[in-house]
Structure 1
Amino acid sequence: MLRRVLYIDLDKKESFVEDRYDLFEEWLGGTGVATQLLLEECPEGADPLSPRAPIIFGIGPLTALFPAMTKTVAAFKSPLNGELGESYAGGRLAMAMRFAGHEGLVIRGAAESPCYISIRDDEVKIKDATSIWGIPATVVGYILREVEAGVGRRSIIRIGPGGERLVRYAGVVVDTYRHFGRLGLGAVFGSKNLKAIVVSGTEDVELPNSKRYRDIYNQLFKTVVQTDAMEKYHDIGTPINVNVLNQMKGLPTRNFQDSSFEAAENISGENLADNYLLRRVSCAHCPIGCIHIGMLKTSFSRHHEFEIRKISYDYELIYALGSNLGVTTPEGMLELIEACERQGLDAISTGVVLAWATEALDRGIITEEETLGVPLKWDGVEGYLEAIERIVKAPNDFYSTLARGVVAASDRYGGEDFAMALGGNEVAGYHTGPAFIFGLAVGVRHSHLDNAGYSIDQAAAKKPLTPEEMVDAIIAEDDARGVYNSLIGCLFARGVYTPDRIVEALGSVGIEKTKDDLQILGRKIFDEKYRFKLREGFDLSKSRIPRRFYETVSTVGMVDPETIETMMEIYRERRSWG
């Protein structure tokens, strides 16, 4: 079986395909293979925004073959924190890569002028993008779909002005409603003068044992659609967490100064579903429909003319641009989400940066001289909209610094105690307790999706866990997700794909593994990611944890710094390189 990786060199304007069966045989696919390609392609110490720093995309052996196996991984050196950059997106990209016949994609070098890449099966063209440079990410897709073939098996990914101007937390928009959001992939695109990639394919997928495949496919499909395993993701989606976390005192509010929000009901998933939900859509080859599209009705004329804007929302966006900024109305929150979409910015990082700036202004650490008169205040939607544009345009040193992330901002102006980042990555929307804090600090990409520490805290709220038990749970989840993210599936379906079913699904496509094989592989993948992190300067002993985490009550009560230090000591004993 061929395991094809497509290499594209923007400097030389050429491409070629290699069979990398060796990598896929050992590392399975997805993040396992992408990590190895990153280690191969990225020179030690390379500037993340230099032509030497590559972009890697990968899919897995189950992509487009089983329900919810919908994700693509991007691996790169992060311009936000200078070490491992890893981001995941759904949409149609994974399917398009599968039908184009490529399980991996490596982009090298940088173009001399704005370009986009068109991939159709083995045909690769590097095309001029001068006319769409500077155009919002939300518009570029409409333009390219008119000039590129492949409807139905096509994916269009692109950056906005934020990526072009190298905002360190710029993302990549995937098929309108999905994103490679975290850790600055959009800025890496911009540094390469790469505006977009269009992928389409006409290939078929051959299966070695169609009956075995159908049997396990039917089992998985029935579990997904005929049980309640994924029902909540369709009905209200992740925004159901707003009210739940608010009641548990785990909803970060006004830059983590509080852990509950008096206006939570206004921006809750229930209110959005009842009064703003326009429709639900799915990623390719997923029957759930977890992508919730909100309707924002606004007047654009004094003659009572209105327009309807369609805006995708989920829990993390509601936290970052809602409760964390003290925004009390769904309309204000949706406007801020759309502003990030237009500019192509990661919503989590943007919200955390704006929350820090609001508190810094309130404390007198910065003044309106730095903000150029923009009034940053809680629930000040108009000021936040203006600030988002200025972060991208960088009219002065202050906004240029905000574009580098909250750590850079606090290093420059002060306020480290309330600069809410771990591992250089702005934090997600949970203040549940020590497992969340610790999990972000040690995770491979400092993301809540590395090991779901927040869920461990929630379990501890019902039945107390020792530091050892929390550390062991974090390690087990980190390793398990190395395998699952190599398959490469949506984490919402994590409970559907049990170890036994994963073994069966792999066997049906000709990959024979045991549960023990997969457990060992998960640990190896994690260690390889840390090999890259350590090579690029990451030092766990120098982790900076904002004091704000210890000043605000969490779901499990006040967090003690000594608890985190104890967990770190245990972790160093458990991990050989810690």
Structure 2
Amino acid sequence: MLRRVLYIDLGRGESAVEEREDLFEEWLGGTGVATQLLLEECPPGADPLSPEAPIVFSIGPLNALFPAITKTVAAFKSPLSGELGESYAGGRLGMALRFAGHEAVVVRGAAERPVYISIENDEVKIKDATSIWGVPATVVGYILRDVETGVGRRSIIRIGPGGERLVRYAGVVVDTYRHFGRLGLGAVFGSKKLKAIVVSGTEDVMVPDPRRYRRIYNRLFKTVVQTDAMEKYHDIGTPININVLNQLKGLPTRNFQDSSFEGAEKISGEVLADNYLFRRVSCAHCPIGCIHIGMLKTSFSREHEFEIRKISYDFELLYALGSNLGVSSAEGVLELIEACERQGLDAISTGVVLAWATEALDRGLVTLQETLGVSLRWNDVPSYLKAIENIVRMENEFYAALAQGVVFASERYGGGEFAMALGKNEVPGYHTGPASVVGLTVGVRHSHLDNAGYSIDQRALKKSLTPEEMVDAIIREDDSRGVYNSLVGCLFARGVYTPENILEALGSVGIEKTEGELEELGRRIFDEKYRFKRREGFDLAEARIPRRFYETVSAVGMIDPETIEEMMRIYRKRRGW
């Protein structure tokens, strides 16, 4: 298996391929390799939006070879947090990179005018994108698929106007329905005048022991499709969590002022599946079909003429643009999701920013003059749609502040106690208890997918857990996901890829490891990420936790600040800090 890194310099218009066997031998692939390349390529203190700040993509040794190993990791310096930026996307990108023969891609420099990159096997072209600059992210894919080759083995990733205008939480759309959503990769693309990347390839993938490979492949495939291990993701999918968390009093509502939503049933996964589900889509080489596409039908004339829009939805989007904004109609949430898609914005951050702005207006911290007459109110979908446009256009100082994230906006206008971000990253849809708060605070990218602290809280509902037990569970998850994200697998399939199965799968492609070696690798990857975070100014001892977390009942009851402080002390001690 080739272990190649493709380097592309937008400023010089050049590309080169290097064999980096040593890098992959030590760090496996995926996030392990991407972190090392980011440490190599990003100068200390670099402006995240400067030509010196690179973009790194990496896949793992099992991509395109095993079911549900579908992701690609992007590593960059985040313009939102100012430190580690890391995001994952499915779709076809991992497969396309494998067939193009590149396990990692590093994008350096910046172009003088809008461009897109075309990668076909070893051939790299930097092409003019002036004609598609300013075009919505939802449209760019349709344009490029007609002018680029590689149908069936191709991935098209692109930004929208939000990334072009450097909104700090702009994302990158991947193959229509997937995203590098969090921490502002879209703005980094925009700073480089990079509109899109198209990847395709025709390389064969060889395995050293086909018989061993078939044996473990068949076992994993049967587990994925013939057991209930991943069934819930196909049926209703993650939106099933709306009703579940609502019943547990763990569903953030109206900017975390409440933890249950009276309109939850109307935006629930069950209602969407019954009334709006159009189809399910899978990432390349995954048989599950967890991507749920809703159909929104709207009239545009009196003569019964309609527009049909197909909109991907999941739990986090329904929380951020639904319960957290008090939006109680499925149509309203789908409208807001599509607006974020069109502009190329991270829906989680957008929802949290709008929720803070709504409360700030209600409390008199900002005025209608600053909102340009947009009367932000809970459940006011038209006003939120207008506000999204104003954020991308940065129509005035207030909207320009919102475009830099909820922490920046609250520092400018006040209301930091209800600016719901941890590590400067707007929080996901869980108010479950202390493990969620601590997990988001200490996680390498301040995401629920770092260590699933919310699931530890849910375990605590069934059996009481001490602060030490919760911290130990967070650390185990942080470290183990470092390995899994180096493969790079879909986290929905973590129950399928047990340590035993991972070792067998790696062995079938010529990588012999022990369970102890993988455990040690996970710890080292975590430490390397924190090395980058500290280098760029992150200090866990100065972590800011909004007071609102302590004011609203969670799934496990009221959260005690002393419990959070104790868990943070235990965490630092366990890590040896």
TM-score w.r.t. the length of structure 1 is 1.00
C-alpha distance after superposition, 1:310-350 (max 9, x if no partner)? 00000000000000000010000000000000000000000
C-alpha distance after superposition, 1:293-319 (max 9, x if no partner)? 000000111322111100000000000
Q: Which amino acid aligns with 1:165?
A: R
Partner Cα distance (1:294, 1:571) in 2: 41
Q: Cα offset for 1:572? A: 1.0
Contact 2:114–2:195 under 8 Å retained in 1: yes
Q: Which amino acid aligns with 1:255?
A: N
Alignment of 1:177-192 (within 5 A): 177-192=177-192
Per the alignment, residue 353 of structure 1 pairs with 353
Per the alignment, residue 300 of structure 2 pairs with 300
Per the alignment, residue 111 of structure 2 pairs with 111
Partner Cα distance (2:15, 2:69) in 1: 28
Per the alignment, residue 373 of structure 2 pairs with 373
The yes-or-no answer on 1:463 pairing with 2:458 is no
The yes-or-no answer on 1:71 pairing with 2:71 is yes
Partner Cα distance (1:141, 1:278) in 2: 20
Alignment of 1:139-154 (within 5 A): 139-154=139-154
Per the alignment, residue 268 of structure 2 pairs with 268
Structure 1 residue matching 2:311: 3-state secondary structure: strand
Structure 1 residue matching 2:296: 3-state secondary structure: strand
Partner Cα distance (2:61, 2:451) in 1: 22
Contact 2:2–2:101 under 8 Å retained in 1: no
The yes-or-no answer on 1:550 pairing with 2:535 is no
Per the alignment, residue 488 of structure 1 pairs with 488
TM-score w.r.t. the length of structure 2 is 1.00
Partner Cα distance (1:96, 1:168) in 2: 28
C-alpha distance after superposition, 1:148-177 (max 9, x if no partner)? 000000000000000000000000000000
C-alpha distance after superposition, 1:485-507 (max 9, x if no partner)? 00010000000000000000000
The runs of at least 4 consecutive aligned structure 1 residues that moved more than 6 Å come to none
C-alpha distance after superposition, 1:108-127 (max 9, x if no partner)? 00000000000000000000
CA RMSD in angstroms comes to 0.4
Per the alignment, residue 431 of structure 1 pairs with 431
Partner Cα distance (1:514, 1:541) in 2: 35
Q: Which amino acid aligns with 1:188?
A: V
C-alpha distance after superposition, 1:171-206 (max 9, x if no partner)? 000000000000000000000000000000000001
Q: Which amino acid aligns with 1:572?
A: R
The yes-or-no answer on 1:453 pairing with 2:453 is yes
Structure 1 residue matching 2:312: 3-state secondary structure: strand
Structure 2 residue matching 1:327: 3-state secondary structure: coil
Partner Cα distance (2:437, 2:574) in 1: 18
Per the alignment, residue 126 of structure 1 pairs with 126
C-alpha distance after superposition, 1:330-388 (max 9, x if no partner)? 00000000000000000000000000000000111111011000010000000000000
C-alpha distance after superposition, 1:92-138 (max 9, x if no partner)? 00000000000000000000000000000000000000000000000
Partner Cα distance (1:374, 1:305) in 2: 30
Structure 2 residue matching 1:486: 3-state secondary structure: coil
Alignment of 1:26-425 (within 5 A): 26-425=26-425
Partner Cα distance (1:370, 1:494) in 2: 46
Partner Cα distance (1:320, 1:424) in 2: 16
Partner Cα distance (2:19, 2:209) in 1: 23
Partner Cα distance (1:214, 1:249) in 2: 46
Per the alignment, residue 478 of structure 2 pairs with 478
Structure 2 residue matching 1:170: 3-state secondary structure: coil
Q: Which amino acid aligns with 2:564?
A: I
Partner Cα distance (1:516, 1:567) in 2: 27
Contact 2:71–2:90 under 8 Å retained in 1: yes
Structure 2 residue matching 1:311: 3-state secondary structure: strand
Partner Cα distance (1:304, 1:226) in 2: 44
Partner Cα distance (1:531, 1:29) in 2: 18
Structure 2 residue matching 1:125: 3-state secondary structure: strand
Partner Cα distance (1:303, 1:440) in 2: 51
Partner Cα distance (1:289, 1:22) in 2: 36
Q: Which amino acid aligns with 1:220?
A: L
Partner Cα distance (1:302, 1:423) in 2: 50
Partner Cα distance (1:300, 1:530) in 2: 52
Structure 2 residue matching 1:505: 3-state secondary structure: helix
Structure 2 residue matching 1:487: 3-state secondary structure: coil
Structure 1 residue matching 2:310: 3-state secondary structure: strand
Structure 2 residue matching 1:266: 3-state secondary structure: helix
Partner Cα distance (2:566, 2:461) in 1: 19
Partner Cα distance (1:154, 1:557) in 2: 48
Partner Cα distance (1:365, 1:460) in 2: 38
C-alpha distance after superposition, 1:47-101 (max 9, x if no partner)? 0000000000000000010000000000000000100000000000000000000
Q: Which amino acid aligns with 2:451?
A: N
C-alpha distance after superposition, 1:408-458 (max 9, x if no partner)? 000000000000000000000000000000000000000000000000000
Contact 2:91–2:174 under 8 Å retained in 1: yes
Mark the runs of 5 or more structure 1 residues left unpaired by the alignment: none
Q: Cα offset for 1:566? A: 0.1
Equivalent residue pairs, number: 577
Alignment of 1:484-523 (within 5 A): 484-523=484-523
